[in-house]
Amino acid sequence: MDRMSLLSASCATGAVACLLVVPAQAATSCAALAQELRLPHTTITLAAEVPAGSFKLPGPAGPGGTGMDLSALPSFCRVAGTIRPTADSDIRFEVWMPLTGWNGRSVGGGNGVWAGSIAYGDMVGPLGRGYATAATDVAHQGSPLDGTFLTGHPEKLTDFGHRAVHESTVAAKATIAKFYGEGPQRSLYASCSTGGRIGLMEAYRYPEDYDGISAIAPANPMVPLMVMSLWTGNATMKNETSRIPAPKFALVQKAAMEACDADDGVRDGIIGNPPTCKFDPAMLQCKGDDAPECLTAPQVQALRAIYEGPRNPRTKEQIYPGLSVGAE
């Protein structure tokens, strides 16, 4: 589809694009972006139109990808590229831009845990609502549960810490401007977990990247949070007797709610102020052998450690808060 056909189709939907005057430097088509888009230390590896309802995931969906209905996706221009700000960088990104009905805005996102693939799950919703949208693998390809790619690679650590999303955002906004003939009127960011942490970093280091940032459940501060995760895992995995099966966590939560839900004067399924809750998992300790409806003594100790959170073994200083009663 050429640019004038695109604008005509957009006008039929009342899109912002029909109001734009395409400057001479605008791309002549989606495919032409592969040759006409020139960005610093960036290689465009794909530029192609995707017909409505035909997109197939080339890899893991990433955060937010569960239950996605790809058949409902509109037609869009899909651009993929690799950014290498340093010799040891390898930042993959994608930009999706509606062929018709663009609302004049863009949405960027981060990723989860250690990332490792494009967060397609964060792109489907915004595209369906008329946004141009972008995502990144946050500088490496691999398992989101494996952080060994950072060992001995300080530039990759910088990329993962903040540079990858910034570079991807700059590239995405330039791609959008080249395709539509005008950059987004408003750029927004929304992501959780590692994406939430990156959202905070964007606001702190690159405040010009976005007009609004939703940093949801940010994995921050990263180092003590990881210590807490290791602490929690160690508490329940010291040995077979301290391991807590998932059904027992549900048992514990039910008991915690019964003990503290009404502390704020309302029984609403929420413990209003968990630190004041006096629930002790010892009330569920088995009187005899292990059973589904009770906790072993090692399981009780594991839960107490989880609630307490990690402390410096020498100074006893709290490293990171424990997990809340009622959040089992």
Which helix (H) or strand (E) segment is 105 a member of?
Answer: strand 105-108
Which amino acid makes up residue 279?
F
Judge contact between 121 and 94, C-beta under 8 A: no
Q: How confident is the model at residue 7 (pLDDT cuts 50, 70, 90)?
A: very low
Specify the pTM.
Answer: 0.79
Closest CA to 281 of 228, 318, 235: 235
Q: What is the pLDDT of residues 30-65, one digit of tens each?
A: 999 999 999 999 999 999 999 999 999 887 666 655
What is the greatest pairwise CA distance in the chain?
A: 81
Closest CA to 114 of 75, 87, 57, 153: 153
Q: What is the pLDDT of residues 168-209, one digit of tens each?
A: 999 999 999 999 999 999 999 999 999 999 999 999 999 999
DSSP string, 108-177: E---STT--S--THHHHHHHHTT-EEEEE-TT--S-TT--GGGTT-HHHHHIIIIIHHHHHHHHHHHHHH
Cα separation, 197 vs 112, whole angstroms:
10
Q: What is the pLDDT of residues 236-271, one digit of tens each?
A: 888 888 999 999 999 999 999 999 999 999 999 999
DSSP string, 19-60: GPPPPTTS-SSTTTHHHH---TTEEEEEEEEE-TT----SS-
Judge contact between 187 and 210, C-beta under 8 A: yes
